[in-house]
Amino acid sequence: MIFPFSQRKPYRGGPLFDRLSTHCFDLGGTGLELTVPASDLVMKEPPRMLNFPFQNAGWFDAHCKRNNMHDELSVFCEVWSYFPTGTKRMASLLATGSNERMGGLCINVDLNRVEKGQELNLNDRESLGTYIKWEYGQHYDSVREECARRWKHGQPDQNDSDRLMYKSSLETYIKPLPNFNTAIFGGEQYTHFNLKKGWAVTTDFYCMPLSEMYYLEIEMEFRFEVSDRNYDILMPDMQKTAEWLLQHIKIASPGKPGGPLPLPQ
């Protein structure tokens, strides 16, 4: 397989496209197949679950965790780190005493459950975006209100450090809700939005409903370290990698010809 990237790169690490692996999951009857390149970053992790009967009574509650806005269950995660080369690496070693990273690209695939009392309309393509916007509004509005209350009125036990923290938190959460659009990769239609955490981290989300109560979320996180110049160096290749990953995601459900994807034995 030929990957259309330049062979001359101003960094080391990143995705290794000469070593691909394919991972298959059964999401309650919907097959999910991910093909990803290897990573130089080796992490210890428990064996991945392959079967996710998330609509069985009590199963999701027994395995999920609360992540700020919603209950979620991790399906897959991979990280590719980028490191300086040549003189940049030497300068980093001399200046910091460590081999500092330039940045990293991470893919997270999660199952998310909508909040109690809410429901997705599978016949309305905008239903998922409408729900996610409501979810973010509920979460950030409550955080903003709490930060504003504590900062405006103050509390007797607050010191200057506390006030600075609340002011910083307030500024952090005063941000517009994400704009949504439709993205099509590998023949599948996703609800897409982007969130930024300063200049150093930006994240693209691609979501797809699986039922009235659950949706699939694919998260592409772009992180930059050492200096902001690394953004211009790494972002083009990171974006190409993210697009390649999305193009190589296959989804099959009982309602589609071929049925669910086979699981590895």
| pLDDT of 260 above 50 | no
Report the sign of the C-alpha dihedral through residues 10, 14, 19, 20, in that order. negative
Kind and range of the H or E element at 89? helix 86-96
At residue 130, the 3 state secondary structure works out as: helix
Expressed in angstroms, the distance from the first to the final Cα of the chain is 25
Integer Cα distance of 209 and 249 in angstroms: 15
User: Per-residue pLDDT tens for 172-200?
Assistant: 555 566 788 999 998 889 999 998 876 67
State pTM to two decimals: 0.80
On the question of pLDDT at 155 being above 60, the answer is no
pLDDT tens, 80-131? 988 877 544 434 433 444 456 688 999 999 999 999 899 999 888 889 999 9
From residue 20, alpha-carbon distances to 35, 145, 241 in Å are: 7, 47, 13
Q: How far apart are CA 223 and CA 56, in angstroms?
A: 36
The pLDDT assigned to 15 comes to: 92
Residue 95 confidence (pLDDT): 44
pLDDT in tens, 55-83: 999 999 999 998 877 899 999 999 998 88
pLDDT at position 93: 39
